[in-house]
Structure 1
């Protein structure tokens, strides 16, 4: 089993990456292979709604990194989407991925069906629920299985590493990893 984590933050290895890696620790304990993709390293053009992807598993725009990221989403058994919160929603890089991936998946029904999804947000003040909701809607509209935890899937912090001071939030991330591993194991058996 394999899970990819997609860090939508502009800050590579910042708070959002810390959250994803915390979930990875729990998945790795259960033998799940993990891979982190940092969108700070990937250019993704916005969707142009041309629908040329209909009947294909990819977008016509090949000069950016979308095709590589989306193919890893299709191959994975589970997907973690993580975003820092900007202007009370997901980052622009995450939004571009969700828009492009959403159209490709909508025009190719079932391409992400029954994969396991987890959405997490690194938050300074507000917008965490909106961000998690945006990412969860992507999962739900693609017939994926959304994993929850004991509380909302967000952790508070501003400067890199501050999220580690939110004990309840980090405990929630660990629980998400355990829940994700459990559901994936049950689906795989």
Structure 2
């Protein structure tokens, strides 16, 4: 079993990385492999609604940023945890630009993979950011893994995050719950959706 941990911060080893590392260490104790994948800090593309992914084997037409690499890694993983810093009470814009394309192009491959999000903030905006990230899962038939509190750590530096004992405990609990759900789902028959998907456009 393996969990993909996405570091959606422009800082490779900043506060978000510190929280994800706490998760990674706890997953290891639970016997679950994991990988922290950093999205980097180079320019990324937003979705332009070209619909080329519909005819590109579930891959985005743009292949000059991490979107398609994340698709491949997520397909190979059993679960995913997405981490982001909080900017103006929302997740990192570059991360959302990538995730919009990842989930639009390939979400059919993510069905029933457990997902969770975590956020890192200095003070406020954590709940709004947490909610935004979870929407990628709830539209993709992905069960959300919970913890003992909303998944956030507080601090302006990695050293301050390490002082947020409740936040770090929340990360460890999340990892333990993720491991439990993955083990519970192992070799289980997944739901089958017999109905053809309906789409309703609202018009006047």
TM over 0.5: yes
CA RMSD of superposed structures (Å)? 1.4
Structure 2: distance between partners of 1:120 and 1:95: 14
TM-score by length of 2: 0.87
Q: In the TM superposition, what is the alpha-carbon distance from 1:41 to its structure 2 partner? A: 5.1
CA contact (8 A) 2:66 2:98 kept: no
Structure 2: distance between partners of 1:72 and 1:91: 20
Structure 2: distance between partners of 1:17 and 1:42: 17
Paired position in structure 1 for 2:9: 9
Structure 2: distance between partners of 1:53 and 1:136: 23
Per mean C-alpha deviation after superposition, the further-off stretch among 174-183 and 45-54 is 45-54
Q: In the TM superposition, what is the alpha-carbon distance from 1:63 to its structure 2 partner? A: 2.2
Paired position in structure 2 for 1:149: 147
TM-score by length of 1: 0.93
Structure 2: distance between partners of 1:168 and 1:6: 22
Aligned length: 186
| Match of residue 132, structure 2, among 134, 145, 170 | 134
Gaps (5+ residues) in structure 1?
none
Gaps (5+ residues) in structure 2?
188-204
Q: Does 1:44 align with 2:44?
A: yes
Paired position in structure 1 for 2:34: 34
Structure 1: distance between partners of 2:47 and 2:150: 29
Structure 2: distance between partners of 1:114 and 1:50: 27
Structure 2: distance between partners of 1:38 and 1:178: 22
Return closer, same or farther for 1:23/1:95 CA change in 2, 3 Å cut-off: same
Q: In the TM superposition, what is the alpha-carbon distance from 1:43 to its structure 2 partner? A: 4.7
Q: Which has the larger radius of gyration?
A: 2
SS at match of 1:82: strand
